[in-house]
């Protein structure tokens, strides 16, 4: 009901002595709306509603308002009364939320940017602009090792915090709501399920696919694809190629082969497959919606890049076709997909069809892009730093004469220490997944490095900031592979391997790490043996680094390289 102007009140009142009476006469609807807003906030605060619950609850309130208005028939007319009540409701709700989050919230003692304390929208916009890794690093430098990056979220950047969030002391810590923000996901995948026990048995189904026995059976497939790559590079000898493209071609073809039973033909054709382009686009949407997970259900109606949405739909359609083709081939093929069709040995459970479909998409999304990035950055550093390229080549020449079949599984630390040091160093300076992997504190709260974190808080470790921090790695932004070899580490160099988490660690750590390492070792050894590389003289390494952005993974510009068949 609209406030009755004071002049029309039927009797003269003294505002200061008759306030309650005045209020009751003037604003019954206003007060009711304000109280409803405060009640709603209290309710939402106890349990965050889903989008459906929110709409249901708001619908009930609107219906009650309508009933009241039609019943009481306020003098201002029903339309004004409804508008006024809604304005009061929403203004009170928003004010109450802001005041609570800034002044009363259990995380109020943790510093951080004000806008992030108030709303996740701030982070969603930063994510959408691909600036997350830089923004969070800047905030850590400004506010310290533990910062508030969302109303209910903390970011950590100290090596001491890794065990409590991902490692040995994190048994009850599960994934946060970030993992619900995958638009259109019909069934949870291994990489998005938030339920600890569900994740546990599904992980048991996945793990055999990356055992040494399984890797041995993949080895010859990788070598077949590498042979195609080598042929193609010979054909392009003396020309400039984008090295980033070729790492994509290789890793997408590998994951197509191991995920869907057939490569994507990217190496053969020497062009990007639409599938890879779709994935890059769909990640743009993912990072926005994951910051505000409830909005993912509304993704079709939220006005974000129509191109990214169209590409996301194409990506699903394409993935579905590939999935349908592969599932017909059954479990006899030696590939990752084949393992997903097996039952969990402990519980006897098998994945449902939608779960397998979701997991098969994960094989490509999780497996191809990150590995390609690691290969791209590795070569970027080695080609900028010719002495280190030469040193690596010396090691490669000493362990492989190029005529025998290369056994990737033997290229570990013992046999190829410098190769592994270079890979680690590229993963440290440019971690493909630079931003924190969100976790959620159990209901009883949780200690991280001696600091109590209140129940239900979301938290993560910011890999980009921590891996480049001088306290853990001296000259943290520089590519110095020698730091990974005890005998070669410069004297006095800080080296805290707890702060090195490119594959994450613990229950949810990368299940495909050994496959990724196998691919990188095999590919690097093969091409370093067979080709000379030279960066295009026009290429500006600093500008390249400055232009690197992030969505779920880092993104990068082209790396133009003249590739030439090696002359001995
Ligand atoms: C250099 C390459 C790679 C990097 C840097 C990397 C990094 C990561 C990271 C940081 C996580 C944790 C994600 C989280 O906490 O939500 C992860 C998980 C995962 N990665 Fe990788 N990854 C790489 C290659 C691969 C490959 C080749 C595969 C093969 C399919 C793979 C499959 C997965 C899967 C399935 C998960 C989810 C694991 C789980 O939920 O238990 N990754 N990866």
Annotated binding residues, written as ranges, equal 510
Looking at the structure, tell me whether residues 392 and 275 fall in a common domain: yes
Angle of the 51-72 helix axis to the 78-99 helix axis, nearest 10? 140
Q: What token pair was written down for 421?
A: 């040091």
State what percent of residues in the chain have pLDDT above 70: 94
pLDDT digits (tens, 9 = 90+) for 488-538: 999 999 999 999 999 999 999 999 999 999 999 999 999 999 999 999 999
DSSP state of 3: P
Q: Is residue 176 part of a domain?
A: no
**What confidence category does residue 77 fall into, taking pLDDT thresholds of 50, 70 and 90?**
confident
Looking at the structure, tell me whether residues 371 and 481 fall in a common domain: yes
Of 305-319, 330-344, 425-439, give the lowest mean pLDDT range.
Answer: 305-319
**85 and 62 Cβ atoms separated by less than 8 Å:** no
Across 22-30, average pLDDT: 60
- Using CA atoms, how far apart are residues 279 and 399, in angstroms rounded to an integer? 37
**What confidence category does residue 17 fall into, taking pLDDT thresholds of 50, 70 and 90?**
low
Q: Is residue 144 part of a domain?
A: no
pLDDT digits (tens, 9 = 90+) for 249-285: 999 999 999 988 889 999 999 988 777 777 777 777 7
pLDDT digits (tens, 9 = 90+) for 376-424: 999 999 999 999 999 999 999 999 998 888 888 889 989 999 999 999 9
Domain extent for 228 = 196-565
Ligand 1 mean position to 412 CA, how many Å? 20
Which atom of ligand 1 lies nearest, measured to the CA of 509? 12
**Helical residues (DSSP H) of 344-452, grouped into ranges:** 353-384, 386-399, 417-429
Which atom of ligand 1 lies nearest, measured to the CA of 463? 10
Q: Is residue 111 part of a domain?
A: no
What is the pLDDT, as a whole number, of residue 463?
A: 98
What is the pLDDT, as a whole number, of residue 491?
A: 94
What is the pLDDT, as a whole number, of residue 272?
A: 81
Q: Which residues touch 9 (CB under 8 Å, ≥6 apart)?
A: 22, 25
Instruction: Give the closest residue (by CA) to ligand 1 atom 2.
Output: 371
What is the pLDDT, as a whole number, of residue 6?
A: 37
What's this model's pTM, rounded to 2 decimal places?
0.90
Give residue for tokens 């990056």. Answer: 149
Looking at the structure, tell me whether residues 401 and 534 fall in a common domain: yes
Domains in the chain, number = 2
- Using CA atoms, how far apart are residues 72 and 364, in angstroms rounded to an integer? 61
Of 111-115, 177-181, 244-248, give the lowest mean pLDDT range.
Answer: 177-181
Of 46-55, 360-369, 387-396, 440-449, give the lowest mean pLDDT range.
Answer: 46-55
* Domain final residue, candidates 104, 128, 143: 104
Q: Is residue 123 part of a domain?
A: no
Q: Is residue 418 part of a domain?
A: yes
Q: Taking CB atoms and a 6 Å cutoff, what residues make up the pocket around ligand 1?
A: 190-191, 203, 362-363, 366-367, 370-371, 374, 432-433, 437, 502-504, 508-512, 515-516
Q: Is residue 13 part of a domain?
A: no
Of 22-26, 77-81, 194-198, 205-209, give the lowest mean pLDDT range.
Answer: 22-26
Ligand 1 mean position to 509 CA, how many Å? 7
What is the pLDDT, as a whole number, of residue 385?
A: 96
- Using CA atoms, how far apart are residues 288 and 130, in angstroms rounded to an integer? 10
What is the pLDDT, as a whole number, of residue 20?
A: 53
Q: Is residue 12 part of a domain?
A: no
What is the pLDDT, as a whole number, of residue 15?
A: 47
**81 and 2 Cβ atoms separated by less than 8 Å:** yes
**363 and 351 Cβ atoms separated by less than 8 Å:** no
CATH number at residue 530: 1.10.630.10
- At residue 248, does pLDDT exceed 70? yes
What is the pLDDT, as a whole number, of residue 46?
A: 81
Q: Is residue 264 part of a domain?
A: yes
Q: For the chain, what percentages of helix, strand and coil (3-state, to nearest 5) are there?
A: 60, 10, 35
**88 and 33 Cβ atoms separated by less than 8 Å:** yes
Average pLDDT, the chain: 89
What's the complex ipTM? 0.99
């Amino acid at each position: 009901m609209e406030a009755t102007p004071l002049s029309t009140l039927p009797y003269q009142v003294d505002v200061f002595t008759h306030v309650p009476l005045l209020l009751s006469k003037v604003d019954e609807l206003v007060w009711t709306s304000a109280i409803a807003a405060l009640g709603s906030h209290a309710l939402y605060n106890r349990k965050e509603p889903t989008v459906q619950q929110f709409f249901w609850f708001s619908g009930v309130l609107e219906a009650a308002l309508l009933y009241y208005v039609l019943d009481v028939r306020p003098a201002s007319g029903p339309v004004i009364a409804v508008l006024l009540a809604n304005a009061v409701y929403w203004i009170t709700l928003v004010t109450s939320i802001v005041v609570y989050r800034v002044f009363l919230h259990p995380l109020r003692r943790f510093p951080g940017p004000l806008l992030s304390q108030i709303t996740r929208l701030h982070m969603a916009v930063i994510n959408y602009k691909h600036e997350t890794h830089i923004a969070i690093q800047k905030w850590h430098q400004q506010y310290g090792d533990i910062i508030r990056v969302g109303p209910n979220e903390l970011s950590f950047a100290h090596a001491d915090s890794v065990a409590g969030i991902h490692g040995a002391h994190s048994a009850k810590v599960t994934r946060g709501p970030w993992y619900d923000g995958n638009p259109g996901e019909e069934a949870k995948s291994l990489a998005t399920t938030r339920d600890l026990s569900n994740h546990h048995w599904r992980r048991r189904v996945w793990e055999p696919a990356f055992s040494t026995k399984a890797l041995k059976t993949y080895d010859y497939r990788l070598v077949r694809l590498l042979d195609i790559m080598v042929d193609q590079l010979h054909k392009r000898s003396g020309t400039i190629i984008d090295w980033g493209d070729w790492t994509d071609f290789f890793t997408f073809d590998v994951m197509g082969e191991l995920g869907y039973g057939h490569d994507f033909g990217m190496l053969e054709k020497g062009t990007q497959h639409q599938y890879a382009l779709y994935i890059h686009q769909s990640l743009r949407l993912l990072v926005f919606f994951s910051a505000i997970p409830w909005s993912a259900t509304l993704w079709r109606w939220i006005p974000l890049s129509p191109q990214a949405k169209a590409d996301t739909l194409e990506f699903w359609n394409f993935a579905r076709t590939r999935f349908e083709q592969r599932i017909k081939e059954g479990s006899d093929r030696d590939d990752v997909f084949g393992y997903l069709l097996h039952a969990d040995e402990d519980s006897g459970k098998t994945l449902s069809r939608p779960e397998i479909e979701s997991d098969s998409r994960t094989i490509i999304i999780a497996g191809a892009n990150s590995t390609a990035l690691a290969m791209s950055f590795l070569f970027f550093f080695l080609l900028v730093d010719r002495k280190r390229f030469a040193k690596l080549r010396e090691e490669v020449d000493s362990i492989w004469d190029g005529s025998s079949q290369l056994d990737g599984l033997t290229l570990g630390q013992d046999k190829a220490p410098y190769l592994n040091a270079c890979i680690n160093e590229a993963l440290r300076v440019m971690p493909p997944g630079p931003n924190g992997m969100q976790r959620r504190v159990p209901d009883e709260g949780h200690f991280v490095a001696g600091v109590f974190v209140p129940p239900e808080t979301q938290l993560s470790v910011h890999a980009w900031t921590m891996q480049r921090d001088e306290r853990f790695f001296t000259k943290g932004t520089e590519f110095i592979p020698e730091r990974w070899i005890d005998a070669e580490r410069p004297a006095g160099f800080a080296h805290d391997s707890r702060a090195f988490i490119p594959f994450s660690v613990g229950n949810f750590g990368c299940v495909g790490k050994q496959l990724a390492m196998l691919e990188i070792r095999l590919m690097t050894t093969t091409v370093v043996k067979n080709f000379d590389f030279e960066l295009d003289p026009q290429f500006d390494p600093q500008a390249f680094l400055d232009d690197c952005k992030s969505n779920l993974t880092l993104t990068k510009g082209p790396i133009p390289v003249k590739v030439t068949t090696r002359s001995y």
